[in-house]
Amino acid sequence: MGTPILAPSMLAADHTRLAEDIKGVEQAGCSWLHVDIMDGHFVPNLTFGPQTVADLRPKTKLFLDVHLMLDNPQDFVEPFIKAGADQVTVHVEPDYDVSACLSKIKELGAKCGVVFNPGTPVDAVEPYLDAVDIILAMTVQPGFGGQSFQASVLKKTAQLAAWRQEKGLDFRIEVDGGVNAENAPDCRKAGVDTFVAGTAFFKAADRDAFRLNIESLA
Ligand code: DX5
Ligand code: ZN
């Protein structure tokens, strides 16, 4: 299991002062930033486009973990990687060629991963286990920050961890949605090594302590 990494979600930042808020993420000692891209179709909300990532890229060394919540992710992996995404994750629910999309992400030089919603069986990601750097298990229905963590998803991350061990693979296991200091230890026990947190990070009184708390989980 990989060392724990906290990936604060930019969705919970102040969108009129992203650069300053991202400096705050660096000052808290974080190495990753989670960037949520929504299309108003696959999920009922809109967020950022490739230009936001391109404009942030020269301002930060953070590893940009770009989560595409789009009906047509295959059309956007290239613009986001050219803009500076270090990793791109794509949902398995829309109808497109997921394997081809993962190959394209790798050819373009970024890390790749698949994402699945709380209502999607874990079997849906099994075909991609040896093709990905990371698997993201949504712990809320995607679209909005500030929702409650769905603990039932941890059965699925435990299954991913079991597959990872059986098959001798080393993909990371990420959770996203409602993650906080209270549920992070249960996530860790269920095989999670990558923790997205929007609200809990940006509202924490001491963000450095919040990060340390997560990244020191055994
Ligand atoms: C939800 C997004 C999340 C969101 C998490 O659709 O994918 O990344 O920012 O926010 P919190 O941590 O507030 O649930
Ligand atoms: Zn996300």
Instruction: Check the annotation: does 199 bind a ligand.
Output: yes
Q: Residue 52: which of 40, 70, 38 has the closest Cα?
A: 38
Kindly state if the Cβ of 198 falls inside 6 Å of ligand 1.
yes
Instruction: Check the annotation: does 198 bind a ligand.
Output: yes
Best substitution site from 25, 36, 201 to test ligand 1's pocket, by max atoms within 8 Å of Cβ? 36
Instruction: Check the annotation: does 91 bind a ligand.
Output: no
201 CA: nearest ligand 1 atom: 12
Tokens of 64: 């940009």
Is residue 170 among the annotated active site residues?
Answer: no
pLDDT at 30 over 90: yes
- ipTM at complex level: 0.98
Kindly state if the Cβ of 8 falls inside 6 Å of ligand 1.
no
pLDDT at 29 over 90: yes
* Architecture field, domain 5-215: Alpha-Beta Barrel (3.20)
Residue nearest (by alpha carbon) to ligand 1 atom 7: 142
Q: How far apart are CA 174 and CA 163, in angstroms?
A: 15
pTM of the predicted structure, to 2 decimals:
0.98
For the chain, the structural domain boundaries read 5-215
| DSSP per residue, 125-191 | GGGGGGG-SEEEEESS-TT-SSPPP-GGGHHHHHHHHHHHHHTT---EEEEESS--TTTHHHHHHTT
pLDDT at 166 over 90: yes
Tokens of 197: 């947190």
Tokens of 136: 């993201």
AA identity, residue 108: L
**Residues 108-153 pLDDT 10s:** 999 999 999 999 999 999 999 999 999 999 999 999 999 999 999 9
pLDDT at 1 over 90: no
Confidence of residue 2 (pLDDT cuts 50, 70, 90): confident
Identify the bridge partners of residue 138 per DSSP, sorted by sequence position. 176
pLDDT at 212 over 90: yes
Is 189 within 8 Å of 216 (Cβ atoms)?
no
Burial class (CB in 10 A: 0-12, 13-18, 19+), 187: buried
Q: Please report, to the nearest 10 degrees, the dihedral formed by the alpha carbons of residues 39, 40, 44, 45 taken in order.
A: 70
Is 90 within 8 Å of 73 (Cβ atoms)?
yes
Q: How far apart are CA 110 and CA 88, in angstroms?
A: 7
Confidence of residue 79 (pLDDT cuts 50, 70, 90): very high
Percent of the chain at pLDDT exceeding 90: 99
The residues whose Cβ lies within 5 A of ligand 2, an ion, are 36, 67, 176
Best substitution site from 144, 183, 203, 214 to test ligand 1's pocket, by max atoms within 8 Å of Cβ? 144
**What is the model's pLDDT at position 211?**
98
Is 175 within 8 Å of 139 (Cβ atoms)?
yes
pLDDT at 28 over 90: yes
Is residue 176 among the annotated active site residues?
Answer: yes
Confidence of residue 171 (pLDDT cuts 50, 70, 90): very high
